[in-house]
Amino acid sequence: MKVHQFDVVVVGAGGAGLMAGLYASRSAKTAVISKLYPTRSHTGAAQGGIGAALGNMEEDRVEWHTYDTVKGSDYLGDQDAIAFMCEQAPEIVYELEHMGLPFNRTPEGRIAQRPFGGHTNNETGKPVRRACYAADRTGHMILQTLYQQCVKNNVTFFDEFQVIDLILSNGAAAGVVALELATGELHVFHAKAVVFATGGYGRVWEITTNAYANTGDGIAIALRRGIPAEDMEFFQFHPTGIYRMGILITEGVRGEGGVLINDKGERFMDRYAPHVKDLASRDVVSRAMYLEMREGRGIGGKRYLYLDVRPETVNKYAAIDGRTNPDGTPYTVTAEQILAKLPDIIDFCRTYLGVDPVTQPMPVQPTAHYAMGGIPTNIYGEVVIDEKNTVMPGMYAAGECACVSVHGANRLGTNSLLDIVVFGKQAGIRAAEFANGADFQPLPDDALDYTRSQLDGLRHGSGKENAFTIATELKTVMFDHVGVFRTEEGMSQALEKIRELKERFKDVRVSDTGKVFNTELLNAWEVSNLLDIAEVTTACALNRKESRGAHAHEDYPKRDDENWLKHTLVWQRDGKLEIGYKPVTITRFQPKERVY
Amino acid sequence: MQVTLKIFRFNPEKDRKFHYETYTLEAEPTERVLDLLERVKGYHDGTFTFRRSCAHGVCGSDAMRINGRNRLACKTLVQDVGERITIEPLLGLRVIKDLVVDMEPFFENYRKVLPYFINESPLPEDGRERLQSPEERARFDDTTKCILCAACTTSCPSFWASDDYLGPAALVAAHRFIFDSRDEAAAQRLQIVAETSGLARCHTVFNCTMACPREIQITKAIGELKMATITGKLD
Ligand SMILES: Cc1cc2nc3c(=O)[nH]c(=O)nc-3n(C[C@H](O)[C@H](O)[C@H](O)COP(=O)(O)OP(=O)(O)OC[C@H]3O[C@@H](n4cnc5c(N)ncnc54)[C@H](O)[C@@H]3O)c2cc1C
Ligand code: SF4
Ligand code: FES
């Protein structure tokens, strides 16, 4: 065992972790620990853009961004946090540009912006160009730029170290335990402040846009250590994943004028969202697609629809919608422009589907995408552990693993990249400040015990069960019953199944007994995280007897503000789940019906 | 269809020498080679080890030799390579276990070229973005696409010959900043890449360009760097 001491330890090196690391390291001795090389983090997969009311292409205002986000959240987002994020947005986008991020440019040389679902001009109700983008690889550029800045500033990295446990001492964060992949050795990182930035958990579902690494480790570890998780029933299904593979086709495709088409050749979104149509927010579009397929209007009766971005289609519907360019002329596109703005999407379709989007429509289906819920924090990234928002000293979280909550029941596109940089920065600054005014908590003598017992369990099970099989069964049941639409019966079945899988998981034994790069062991441990996360997700979903944002409960199809305008909190106590609630912060915008 | 995978195996804790294992499995022609590797690990042999994450060609984890050519397993479909598939680790980097190679020398070379934006001039007074025309932005677009997968560098005979050669990926990183109109350290970087372990070692073999899963015109980028070191001009 090796012991390291740092003022601040950041776990995760995606957008949130790198931003936290960059800021914390300015004033405190900081380590960034990541199970992947930083540039492999899933932030690099983000395509469409980062939201900020820069107004580079047309009038836009921070207040509109704020209101759109509140509305998008189906009023479950905390309005003080949302206002803070949207106010910070222009400044932080400029900061990224100053770090060298290569945004696309307007003819005037400013950062280019495109429309995205749910982002509107609040006066006209029309889509507004708010998503700052770098082709269709905005996340890649953010991740690369932040990593480059970390290299420039000599940030200390522990690459391919997987954190297994959080060390708490006297009710405060005291460090983490990590396994070094290359050697199999356990390391204790003794720290005054810990920042979790471990990303999402989309691997709980069968069809997903998420990477293999997105197994919710941070949230699962926190739950095991008595920290609650917030709003776990709200998980976003993105409308347009490549059929059967789940690979994301960015909403930017619809931003550029692409439309969804059913088996009858109809552009059906005008029936579900008459104002913004294909650019309604994601929960609305995914549900519309399910309803179309349920009515038998999937392509060839199957479980997919077409996303059509062929220039002739785009131009036809742009004319019908009366869409115009910033200078007032009618909006039209050419094949070359599509190619220039969506090069990676075109590449994905050619590679995985053998389809050329400029001449053929793309087969798409809703795909698991984004966790609105996570480790509860306030706007400073401080982890709060109860209904009264009591801060746990020294413990921070940011990015997709955290729940501030700025996304409430449904996130708007472009708001996660914004979230990770805004709150990654806050968490980094605050963690360093805290560390500079605090002493190390003593390390408990048994700091390694819990890690050892978890890993030993996986090494010494009976071997009757296979972790891979269990994960596959879990993903199927979650996709079928805890997906876009949910019913009491389906979710109860799912919960039963998850508990059965958890039992069976005890009989897993990994065959690799080695120390060096034992990914079988770590993958199996990740399956235990998926199981825990699926259980809390389903239990919280079953408890919420209303429909709101991404949680569409068919037995309770209406939003119920009287009883359910509140955040869910869930604790894992002695293997049992306890569910509680806390109020939503409402400042300027009183809940009203959501129409797009 | 039935696919036979012949896979390079090496376990440092047991083997003195590598060997190959063969696995036969049912697969669809449109599946990714990575999907097959996952099934081998999940159902046939849990000890089989490789890196992967995004599964759609954007993270750079799973570059490997597939039928002798450097490719990403997640961006290669079974139908692209046929029913007999040989899987081996990248060449020129030490094998740690099975397909996992030691990436440190690769990243070390990357870090040598000052792979970060440098501009010490005052920011615009209004605090907004530095201006850059769409044409200036397009000038270095191609080299911003790099995902640091190492497919290029490990396909290069000059790199096999000696790993102190910076290698194509590091040169791509240098290009990305040197041709960015906002950056101010082009001269410094050009000096670094002009040193003996840099540009001169590139013999325009084109292996890198063929290997790049992001279709970056690497040889062209290196050519532009060579030109810039000779003329001292960036155009
Ligand atoms: C395909 C796709 C496209 C998207 N497009 C957009 C978009 O256009 N706009 C937008 O706003 N949002 C988008 N999103 C959402 C957004 O990209 C993510 O929510 C965001 O990038 C998450 O960043 P993060 O830093 O929280 O986590 P990640 O980038 O996922 O990073 C997690 C980090 O934690 C590390 N880690 C995890 N577990 C452990 C452990 N146990 N030990 C050590 N390290 C660990 C990983 O190695 C990694 O470095 C998209 C998401 C996807 C999947
Ligand atoms: S240039 Fe291409 S092949 Fe080389 S590391 Fe970058 S993405 Fe990989
Ligand atoms: S797994 Fe990410 S590039 Fe293949």
Convert the pLDDT of each residue in B66-112 to its tens digit: 999 999 999 999 999 999 999 999 999 999 999 999 999 999 999 99
Tell me: do B132 and B226 sit in the same domain: yes
Q: Are A72 and A411 within 8 A, CB to CB? A: yes
Tell me: do B87 and B159 sit in the same domain: no
Convert the pLDDT of each residue in A272-290 to its tens digit. 999 999 999 899 999 999 9
Residue A586, H or E segment: none
Centre of ligand 1 from the C-alpha of residue A549, in Å: 21
Tell me: do B77 and B119 sit in the same domain: no
Q: How far, in Å, CA of A38 to CA of A21, rounded?
A: 12
Q: Is A112 exposed, middle or buried (0-12, 13-18, 19+ CB in 10 A)?
A: buried
Q: Indicate the residue among B67, B101, B135 that finishes a domain.
A: B101
- Please enumerate in sequence order all residues whose Cβ is within 8 A of that of A575, keeping only pairs 6 or more positions apart, or say none: none
User: Which of A22, A54, A105 is the best substitution to test chain B (most B C-beta atoms within 10 A)?
Assistant: A105
Centre of ligand 2 from the C-alpha of residue A132, in Å: 25
Instruction: Kindly identify which residue of chain B lies nearest to residue A519, measuring between CA atoms.
Output: B49
Give the residue carrying structure tokens 């990224």: A96
Residue A582, H or E segment: strand A576-583
Ligand showing the shortest atom-to-Cα distance for residue A202: 1
User: Phi and psi of A365, rounded to 5°?
Assistant: -145, 155
Helices (H), A375-439: 415-436
Q: Which residues of B touch A53 (CB under 8 A)?
A: none
Query: Residue B72 in 3-state DSSP?
Result: strand
- Percent of chain A at pLDDT above 90? 97
Tell me: do B116 and B187 sit in the same domain: yes
Centre of ligand 2 from the C-alpha of residue A17, in Å: 24
User: Which of B129, B141, B142 is the best substitution to test chain A (most A C-beta atoms within 10 A)?
Assistant: B129
| pLDDT at position B233 | 79
How close A429 gets to chain B, by Cα (Å)?
A: 21
Tell me: do B114 and B206 sit in the same domain: yes
Ligand showing the shortest atom-to-Cα distance for residue B148: 2
| pLDDT at position A103 | 98
In the DSSP assignment, the letter for residue B114 is: -
| pLDDT at position A125 | 92
Among candidate residues A456, A452, A468, A479, the one with its CA nearest the CA of residue A501: A468
How close B216 gets to chain A, by Cα (Å)?
A: 12
β-strand partners of A400: none
Q: Please compute the mean of the pLDDT values over residues A585-589 and round it to a whole number.
A: 97
Q: Indicate the residue among B101, B128, B162 that finishes a domain.
A: B101
Tell me: do B21 and B66 sit in the same domain: yes
A327 falls in which pLDDT band (50, 70, 90)?
A: confident
Ligand showing the shortest atom-to-Cα distance for residue A529: 1
Tell me: do B29 and B48 sit in the same domain: yes
Among candidate residues A30, A302, A315, A324, the one with its CA nearest the CA of residue A157: A30
| pLDDT at position A1 | 83
Residue B118 amino acid letter? I
The pLDDT of residue A265 is above 90:
yes
The answer for A 528-587 residues in CB contact with B (under 8 A) is none
User: Phi and psi of A186, rounded to 5°?
Assistant: -90, 135
Among candidate residues A584, A208, A217, A541, the one with its CA nearest the CA of residue A401: A217
Which of the residue ranges A52-56, A549-553, A571-575 would you say has the lowest mean pLDDT? A571-575
The pLDDT of residue B189 is above 90:
yes
Q: Are B170 and B205 within 8 A, CB to CB? A: no
Handedness of CA A11, A16, A19, A24 (dihedral sign): negative
- Please enumerate in sequence order all residues whose Cβ is within 8 A of that of A578, keeping only pairs 6 or more positions apart, or say none: A570, A571
Mean of per-residue pLDDT scores for chain B: 96
Convert the pLDDT of each residue in A492-539 to its tens digit. 999 999 999 999 999 999 999 999 999 999 999 999 999 999 999 999
- Percent of chain B at pLDDT above 70? 100
Centre of ligand 1 from the C-alpha of residue A46, in Å: 8
The pLDDT of residue A36 is above 80:
yes
Angle between helices A488-505 and A467-481 (to 10 degrees): 170
| pLDDT at position A461 | 95
Convert the pLDDT of each residue in A328-342 to its tens digit. 999 999 999 999 889
Per the CB < 8 Å rule, is B54 touching A145?
no
Tell me: do B111 and B78 sit in the same domain: no
The pLDDT of residue A462 is above 80:
yes
Centre of ligand 1 from the C-alpha of residue A270, in Å: 32
- Please enumerate in sequence order all residues whose Cβ is within 8 A of that of A20, keeping only pairs 6 or more positions apart, or say none: A10, A32, A195, A197, A381, A396, A398, A424, A425, A427, A428, A431
Instruction: Kindly identify which residue of chain B lies nearest to residue A351, measuring between CA atoms.
Output: B75
Centre of ligand 2 from the C-alpha of residue B117, in Å: 19
Q: Are A530 and A474 within 8 A, CB to CB? A: yes
Give the residue carrying structure tokens 């912060």: A585
The pLDDT of residue A93 is above 90:
yes
CATH code, B10: 3.10.20.30
Indicate which residue's Cα is closest to atom 8 of ligand 2.
B149
| pLDDT at position B164 | 86
Instruction: Check if B61 has its Cβ closer than 6 Å to any atom of ligand 3.
Output: yes
Taking the CA atoms of chain A, what radius of gyration do you get in angstroms? 23
Instruction: Kindly identify which residue of chain B lies nearest to residue A154, measuring between CA atoms.
Output: B111
A61 is known as an active-site residue: no
Please give the ipTM for the structure prediction: 0.97
Tell me: do B81 and B180 sit in the same domain: no
Q: How far, in Å, CA of B103 to CA of B112, rounded?
A: 15
Instruction: Kindly identify which residue of chain B lies nearest to residue A349, measuring between CA atoms.
Output: B56
Q: Which residues of A touch B75 (CB under 8 A)?
A: 351
How far apart, in Å, are the Cα atoms of A296 and each of A215, A260, A290? Answer: 34, 15, 10
Tell me: do B126 and B216 sit in the same domain: yes
The pLDDT of residue B235 is above 80:
no
Cα end-to-end span (Å), chain B: 51
Query: Residue B192 in 3-state DSSP?
Result: helix
Per the CB < 8 Å rule, is A152 touching B52?
no
| pLDDT at position A579 | 98
B196 falls in which pLDDT band (50, 70, 90)?
A: confident
Instruction: Check if B103 has its Cβ closer than 6 Å to any atom of ligand 3.
Output: no
Instruction: Kindly identify which residue of chain A lies nearest to residue B49, measuring between CA atoms.
Output: A519
The pLDDT of residue B115 is above 80:
yes
**Structural domain span for residue B122:** 104-231
Tell me: do B52 and B73 sit in the same domain: yes
Tell me: do B177 and B79 sit in the same domain: no
Instruction: Check if A481 has its Cβ closer than 6 Å to any atom of ligand 1.
Output: no
The pLDDT of residue A70 is above 80:
yes
Q: How far, in Å, CA of B22 to CA of A211, rounded?
A: 27
In this prediction the pTM is: 0.97
Ligand showing the shortest atom-to-Cα distance for residue B171: 2
Q: Are A378 and A397 within 8 A, CB to CB? A: no
Ligand 3, atom nearest to B213 Cα: 3
Ligand 1, atom nearest to A202 Cα: 53
Indicate which residue's Cα is closest to atom 6 of ligand 2.
B146
Mean of per-residue pLDDT scores for chain A: 97
Per the CB < 8 Å rule, is B131 touching A110?
yes
Using the Cβ of A459 and the Cβ atoms of chain B, whether some distance falls under 8 Å is answered with no
Convert the pLDDT of each residue in B141-186 to its tens digit. 999 999 999 999 999 999 999 878 999 999 999 999 999 999 999 9
Pocket of ligand 2 (CB under 6 A): B 146-152, 168-169, 172, 211-212, 214, 216, 218
Ligand 3, atom nearest to B52 Cα: 1
Of B12, B46, B116, the CB nearest to A152: B116
Pairing mode, if any, of strands A566-573 and A576-583?
Answer: antiparallel
CATH code, B212: 1.10.1060.10
How far apart, in Å, are the Cα atoms of A557 and each of A238, A458, A485, A487, A593? Answer: 20, 42, 10, 10, 13
| pLDDT at position A278 | 96
| pLDDT at position A405 | 95
Ligand 3 binding pocket mutation candidate from B59, B90, B100, B152 (most atoms within 8 A of CB): B59
Q: Are A395 and A382 within 8 A, CB to CB? A: yes
Query: Residue A308 in 3-state DSSP?
Result: strand
Q: How far, in Å, CA of A518 to CA of A371, rounded?
A: 28
Give the residue carrying structure tokens 């003329």: B231
Ligand 3 binding pocket mutation candidate from B72, B99, B100 (most atoms within 8 A of CB): B72
Catalytic member of A203, A282, A287, A486: A282
Q: Which residues of B touch A212 (CB under 8 A)?
A: 52-55
Per the CB < 8 Å rule, is B180 touching A102?
yes
Instruction: Kindly identify which residue of chain A lies nearest to residue B75, measuring between CA atoms.
Output: A351
How close B173 gets to chain A, by Cα (Å)?
A: 10
Q: Indicate the residue among B78, B101, B124 that finishes a domain.
A: B101
Query: Residue A45 in 3-state DSSP?
Result: helix
Using the Cβ of A31 and the Cβ atoms of chain B, whether some distance falls under 8 Å is answered with no
In the DSSP assignment, the letter for residue B90 is: P
Q: Please compute the mean of the pLDDT values over residues A202-225 and round it to a whole number.
A: 98
Query: Residue B182 in 3-state DSSP?
Result: coil
β-strand partners of A229: A570
Q: Please give the tally of structural domains in chain B.
A: 2
